[in-house]
Structure 1
Amino acid sequence: MVTVVPYTLLAGLAVLVVAAGFPVTELLPAAVWMVVLYRWREKPAFFAGLLAITAVMVLQNPLYGLFTPVPYIYAFTVLTWPWRLAGVGLTAVVAGLAQASAAPGMVVLQGVIIGVNVVMMVTTAWVLHTADVEREQRLAAMAKLEAALEENAGLHAQLLVQAREAGVLDERQRMAREIHDTLAQGLIGIITQLQAAEQRHEVPAAWRRPFDAVMGLARESLAEARRSVDALRPAHLETARLGEALETVSGRWSALHGIPVRFTATGTARPLAPAIEVALLRTAQEALANVAKHAGATRVGVTLSYLEEEVALDVRDDGKGFDLSAPRQEQTGGFGLGIMRQRVEGLSGSLRVESEPGGGTGVSACVPWRSA
């Protein structure tokens, strides 16, 4: 409407003028204005100059009333409200002058013709403006509705989170009761009996190392059980980063079971979310526990790797291994591998187990370090 139609009308009018025998030079001012100022065709000043040129043309020859659709186009598309109303009204006056020339000397009729043009075009401009306002109001209402829907979705997600937290809290309270009545009491009983035995009889030197190991393991297990129920981080992560905690856990496990453990950290260490640190530490502890129970290994390697997009934990041993294709292989050590997989996959990570009879076992956990 702004770049094609006006110039098409100008070209068509030029052909008509030539066919009617009028000098085409009378169209030259309008053509020069529209071509030279093409870049400014969407400026109000462009419309004002074009309307003035059109008025002069109409006064010279009423035939140029056929050119008035061009300023109409610019009035409707370029001018903003309420200037659009004035621009359309002035263009209607120019168009009415061209039409009124058909009734020379009849001033009243000419006034009526001009007035009808002005009323019709101004009314059209008003109706179109009203439609634009209503459309803008509908768009604004739709935007508000979309915002409300997004807010409702956010509230719904928040309610789901709260419901989940409430469920977790209920389950934690149930676990607390169960642990207090069973596991904690049993561990306390073990510790008490060991202390009583130590007070009644001196522990032989050959028994001292396993005796102390059992005592320390019972106390550590009791503390970790209480921390798990209270949703606290593992004690190893209270004052240390993940790499240091893994090295400490590996060293204690090695001292307890008499199996050498080599811990290695690669890559540039970066701060991790607590959930990732807890999941990887628990995975390492569970993997080492499985090595102690099932592997029959002579050495173990624990590797923590900080990669570009993820952090990886590998626990590998040189034990007897097992056949991964055997049915229900994951249940050999209870729920250990299943729990490890749930922890890691809950953080958008992956857990992979590699093993073969006589070839040792490797457990690899990879977690995106931005996942939590």
Structure 2
Amino acid sequence: MDSSLESHVEGIEPNTQGTHDALTRAKNRMKNTASATLTNIAAGDVNTYDSQPGAAAYRRAMTVLTVFLLVAALADATRLGRNDAIIAVVFSALFAFAYAMAVTRADDSLWLKLTWLAALTIVWVLMLPVVQVSVYLVFPLFFLYLRVLPDYRGMIAVLGATAVAILSYRSHLTYGAVMGPGVSALVVIGIHLAFQALWRGAREREALIAELIETRSQLAETERAAGIAAERQRIAHEIHDTLAQGLSSIQMLLRVSEQAINKSSMTEDEKIAPLKHIGIARQTAADNLQEARAMIAALQPAALSKTSLEGALLRVAESFVGPDYTITVDGDERQLPMKVEAALLRIGQGAMGNVAKHASATRCAVTLTYSPGEVRLDVVDNGAGFDPAAVEDRPAGLGHIGVNAMRQRAAELGGTVELESAPGQGTAVSVAIPIPEEN
């Protein structure tokens, strides 16, 4: 398992630390979300106000109450003289119209909403001397004040309307005339504050639930990655303990058979054929063993679990005999995703193996370049070279990795492979894989 996966696994082994951090983030986010919602409401965003839990029912209740009070005002107007009754009907109609505009025009600007509120308040004040029961219309006014101005400004407006309602009883001011509007104002303000506390809690719970769902998905992905790494490790161990060990045993048996033939009483001519077949079998076993080791490196790069990608390439270079390999790193070395490191190691191992077996080179320069947006691996030798067009479509076989196989492996990660060579001029293999920059 490489170090990038180890860091993921370390993050989920206890699980408590990751969950604690997620909860901390959730608390901060839900506070910000709740604060933003209440800020929008305080700024006169009626749509945000009406979308809160219980706000729509509260608005409907106030509308029903307003209709009832207007009907009561019209009923009271029947006891008045003709002129006063007409004035009462006109004021009731104007109040109903202004109330409807104040309630339904949620998309208007704050100043336009305040204009409708001011018009509604003026109509109500003018109704008070004409229709005595209209004093109770202060309830829907309380609601509208706190709906458009749900902070201290709305509370000041409520207190102002309360004072007007009390003063309307100036001709027969009593203790009940003061307590009625005063208690009503306190009840409405209390309901408003209770709704705000409810909304704040609802927003915080929504943010917490969203964050916990996101955290659960992240933990599931981390556990999945850890499971994949464990399965890759298991398969790598199986290949090592079965296929690789079996091929090593075959090589040893063939070597013993070769020694037995050389020590036998067979003539030199009789030894040529069996020794040739044994040599081919040994080479085939060696090539397959190398491929098995390459698969192990791709599944679970043993070198990457102990050192960096540079160290892994050094260990790969040490396993080849022939060219003088040099490993160079340019840029700021950093930890790459496991699949990227495994792909680079696999491609680099194949390219260096091809140099050792087919290039007849004396030197091979391997350069690993870390750039902000990508990582590049260049393998350049001074060997005999070849015609790329002649071998580009050659499939991956024993002892080498075909160019198409390299390109396919890089393409799976969004990368590219470039090959430059000519007879007598060496070979250069360059693979580039994009790496998203961390935010």
5 Å-filtered alignment, 1:280-295, equals 280-291=344-355
Deviation (angstroms), 1:333 = 4.4
5 Å-filtered alignment, 1:1-372, equals 77-78=151-152, 91=160, 94-101=163-170, 103=171, 106-108=172-174, 111-158=175-222, 160-161=224-225, 164=228, 168=232, 176=239, 180=242, 184-195=245-256, 197-198=258-259, 218=286, 221=289, 225=293, 228=296, 233-234=301-302, 242-243=309-310, 246-247=313-314, 249-250=316-317, 253-255=320-322, 260-261=323-324, 263=326, 265-268=328-331, 270=333, 272=335, 275=338, 278-291=342-355, 296=359, 298=361, 301-309=364-372, 310-317=374-381, 318-323=384-389, 329=393, 331=395, 333=397, 336-337=402-403, 340-341=406-407, 344=410, 348=413, 350-355=415-420, 358=423, 361-367=427-433
Q: Residue by residue, what CA displacement relative to the aligned partner does 1:48-75 show, whole Å, maximum 9, x if unpaired? A: xxxxxxxxxxxxxxxxxxxxx9xx8899
Runs of 5+ consecutive residues of structure 2 not aligned to the other structure: 1-40, 45-141, 264-278
CA distance in 2, matches of 1:313, 1:183: 28
* Relative contact order higher in (CA < 8 Å, ≥ 6 apart): 2
Letter of the structure 1 residue corresponding to residue 179 of structure 2: G
Letter of the structure 1 residue corresponding to residue 245 of structure 2: A
Deviation (angstroms), 1:314 = 0.8
CA distance in 2, matches of 1:231, 1:271: 21
Q: Following TM superposition, where does structure 1 have runs of at least 4 consecutive aligned residues deviating by more than 6 angstroms? A: 1-4, 72-75, 237-240, 369-372
1:218 to 1:316, Cα distance in 2 relative to 1, 3 A: same
CA distance in 1, matches of 2:294, 2:336: 22
Name which of structure 1's ranges 88-97 and 183-192 shifts more when overlaid on structure 2.
Answer: 88-97
TM-score by length of 2: 0.46
Letter of the structure 2 residue corresponding to residue 228 of structure 1: I
Aligned residues between the structures: 275
Deviation (angstroms), 1:139 = 1.5
1:319 to 1:161, Cα distance in 2 relative to 1, 3 A: same
What is the root-mean-square deviation of aligned Cα atoms in Å? 5.2
Letter of the structure 2 residue corresponding to residue 306 of structure 1: T
1:164 to 1:353, Cα distance in 2 relative to 1, 3 A: same
Letter of the structure 2 residue corresponding to residue 94 of structure 1: A
Deviation (angstroms), 1:342 = 5.9
Provide the secondary structure at the position in 2 that maps to 1:362.
strand
Q: Residue by residue, what CA displacement relative to the aligned partner does 1:150-186 show, whole Å, maximum 9, x if unpaired? A: 244235435644664576467557x539x72x55323
